[in-house]
Amino acid sequence: MLNLQFDILPADIDEKYLRHEAPTAHAQRLAREKALVVAEQHPKALVVGSDTVVVIDRSVLGKPKSEDEAVAMLMRLQGRVHRVATGIAVAEGAECLAESEIVRVKFRAFELDTAREYVATGEPMDKAGAYGIQGFGASLIEWVDGDYFAVMGLPVQRMIRMFEQLGWHYNFKGLERR
């Protein structure tokens, strides 16, 4: 959508929480670690790393481990407001910027059958909080207060600003060095 040429490369890192780590700090740390691992493997590339967590009642909802867990997460979110914290890091060589974006999201009220039907699509199984705003999960959302793209997992405006901090310019044709 932004006319950026990119490859998706996995970063094999340990995603466990550190003791007493806040959700926003966790997402930002993982984004940084992902970006730096890939930047080390591709030192001439401009690398973006990101990580997203869903927070409700001071609990972090990661990716569900089972369909039952996904249904339970959705029922916990239904009819309520929660926060999505997305960490983003942009690395070029050894230089790395890392920030985070926090968005408030409200789910509409729905019944258990709706949660089960959504989980049956398979969409929630690899998503923090067991939903994807860019897919069928959009039907569960009443409103979003903040960057929609951060809920998807990539805060676009923040990323472009970070590119600029590293000396790049986005011009709708892609990126060019300033």
Name the residue with tokens 């995603």: 15
pLDDT (0 to 100) of residue 154:
96
Prediction pTM value: 0.92
H/E segment holding residue 77: helix 67-77
In a domain, 4, yes or no: no
User: Containing domain of residue 39, as a range?
Assistant: 23-177
The half-sphere exposure of 88 on its side-chain side, counting CA atoms within 13 A, is 22
The CATH number assigned to the domain holding 105 equals 3.90.950.10
- pLDDT reported for residue 122: 98
pLDDT at 1: 86
Domains held by the chain: number: 1
As a whole number of Å, the CA-based R_g of the chain is 17
Residue 124 has pLDDT above 90, yes or no: yes
Catalytic (active-site) positions: 51
Measuring CA to CA, which residue among 27, 54, 44, 48 is closest to residue 36?
48
State pLDDT tens for residues 64-121: 999 999 999 999 999 999 999 999 999 999 899 999 999 999 999 999 999 999 999 9
